[in-house]
Amino acid sequence: MSTLDRTLSLASSGMQAQAARLRHVSENIANADTPGYRRKTVAFEPQILPGDGFGEASGIRASDVMLDRSALPQIYDPGHILADETGHYEGSNVDLMVEIADAREAQRSYEANLKMFDQARQMSQSLIGLLRR
């Protein structure tokens, strides 16, 4: 795999991983008020392509979805359909401020990978232009 191919592969895998992260963040935000909803998180792990002679990570990928196992808040509302005999039900463990910060971080990382992809593409076009002369 050439250096250019490797750079494009790294950038595209980073964009795919951040897109997956942003998808889960948006699900969390959409379900912030859903009773019993547990926040979804995703971690990143190195991706090694078969036949890659470099012996290093060839990219990154999002791992399987994990659920945040922190305690769900007990909300007091005796009139709620899910309330038990004490008038409590389990809320969601989604913190909107954390989700907004995660969304912004994922967006910035996506943009950085896109910039790297674009720079590699421009460099290859410049090289082709020089070779044509």
pTM here?
0.80
Percent of the chain having pLDDT more than 70?
92
Residue 26 lies in a domain: yes
Which residue is associated with the tokens 């995703």? 42
Quote the number of domains for the chain: 1
Q: What pLDDT sits at residue 93?
A: 95
On whether residue 29 sits in a domain, the answer given is: yes
The residue-averaged pLDDT of 19-36 equals 95
Domain hosting 30: range is: 3-127
Q: How far is Cα 43 from Cα 61, in angstroms, rounded to an integer?
A: 8
* 83 domain-assigned: yes
Q: How many CB atoms lie within 10 A of CB 66?
A: 13
Residue 23 pLDDT more than 60?
yes
Q: What pLDDT is stored for residue 74 in this prediction?
A: 95
Residue 54 has pLDDT above 60, yes or no: no
Tokens of 13: 């895998």
Q: Tell me if 133 is assigned to some domain.
A: no
Mean pLDDT of all residues in 43-69: 79
Q: Is position 132 within any domain?
A: no
